[in-house]
Structure 1
Amino acid sequence: MKGVLKSEIILGIDPGFGRIGFALVKEQGQDFKVQEYGCLETPQNTSQYHRLLLIFEKVKGLIKKNKPDVVAMEEIFFGRNVTTAFQVGKAHGVVQLASTQSNIPVVYYTPAHIKISVTGYGHADKTQIQKMVKSILHLREIPKPDDAADALAIALTHSFRRNSNFKLDARR
């Protein structure tokens, strides 16, 4: 049927260095099925190089096990803590490498686009986003931890963007 997109498995990633939120969401039209969500963690007492290797291996494992069609990630946000931003940037690159090696395209969304996609408001707070994720995905409770809820929101953002013909205005 013309205009109907095939179903897609989206791997949403909320990048981090110590903890990476992930969510696997299968979407078909306007229906969603949450396959899995959670966090990948790296131990603080190991070198940054070993932690990056662990991130790479864990993401590759998720990709191999679930065979997503696309990886959707939050763009890096440079706040006040530059050191943290650089660490997250390294993790971001490792996730992109794992995806690219697996021939999985990677798309990026800004925090404002994620907020407006999920809540309709570009300045929504975490609680508003989490409540909408719970409602849209028909979950019994708000997903925890926050990184996993963010990964679900990122996956939803990709689905909404892919299924729409309009551009989001994150200034709303």
Structure 2
Amino acid sequence: MRVLGIDPGSNCTGYGIVESHRNSLKSIHWGSIKTKPKALFPDRLKSIYDELTRVVGEFQPDIVAIEDLFFAVNAQSTIKLGQTRGVAILAAVNASLTVAEYTPLEVKLSVVGYGRADKNQVRDMVTALLGLRKKPEPLDASDALAIAICHLHNQKTSKRLQEALSSRR
């Protein structure tokens, strides 16, 4: 299974594609979409949408996993993040892909085992889990890879649970 993880942000949206092979994970590609801070916000959203559409077309993921909203102190930032998530979800849905959503806590617990891990700890674990020689940059890209890994971990756990329940019947 090939998963596109997305860490949405109006200034920088991270993305990462991870593939599972039996019991191992492999990174396919990662990067970030940096928008021009002085550009009009609708134009920034269009840039994010267009680039994610390109990534989906090029790497053909089976599913998209995206970070769910968390509540920021600043309401304006929360609204912009929601709009950014919206265009990312739209890019996935327009490509007929299913979207899975995970909170930052779920991602950190799944990848690091600690819900209050910082971005550097997440990047270090992503580097180790994927067997990378270099740490993924920027941090938004490593967060996106972590979101993809979280989805793959959750899928594996769900499959095991269903198999266990089936064998009890």
TM-score by length of 2: 0.90
Q: CA deviation at 1:52?
A: 1.0
Deviations 1:2-51 (A, max 9, x none): xxxxxx11000000101100001111222122111010111122111111
What are the equivalent positions in structure 2 for 1:4-153 lying under 5 Å apart?
Answer: 8-153=1-146
Cα deviation digits, residues 138-165 of structure 1 (max 9, x gap) = 1113211110110011010000000013
Q: Secondary structure at the match of 1:164?
A: helix
The gaps in structure 2 that reach 5 residues or longer are 162-169
1:89-121 Cα shifts (integer Å, max 9, x gaps): 101000111111110011000111101100112
Name the count of aligned residue pairs.
160
| Partners of 1:97 and 1:135 in 2: CA distance | 32
The answer as to whether partners of 2:19 and 2:25 remain within 8 angstroms in 1 is yes
Larger helix fraction of residues: 2
- Counterpart code for 2:132: L
* Root-mean-square deviation (Å): 1.4
* Superposed displacement of residue 137, structure 1: 0.5
Tell me the TM-score normalised to structure 1 length: 0.89
Q: Secondary structure at the match of 1:163?
A: helix
Runs of 4+ in 1 over 3 A off after TM superposition: none
Q: CA deviation at 1:65?
A: 0.8
Distance in 2 separating the partners of 1:98 and 1:164:
27
Q: What secondary structure, in the 3-state scheme, does the structure 2 residue paired with 1:78 have? A: coil
Q: Percent identity between the aligned chains?
A: 36
Structure 1 counterpart of 2:13, which letter? I
Correspondence for 2:156 among 144, 151, 163: 163
More moved, 122-131 vs 8-17: 122-131
User: In the alignment, is the contact (CA less than 8 A) between 2:68 and 2:102 conserved in 1?
Assistant: yes
Q: For structure 1, which segment, 140-149 or 98-107, has the greater mean C-alpha deviation from structure 2 after superposition?
A: 140-149
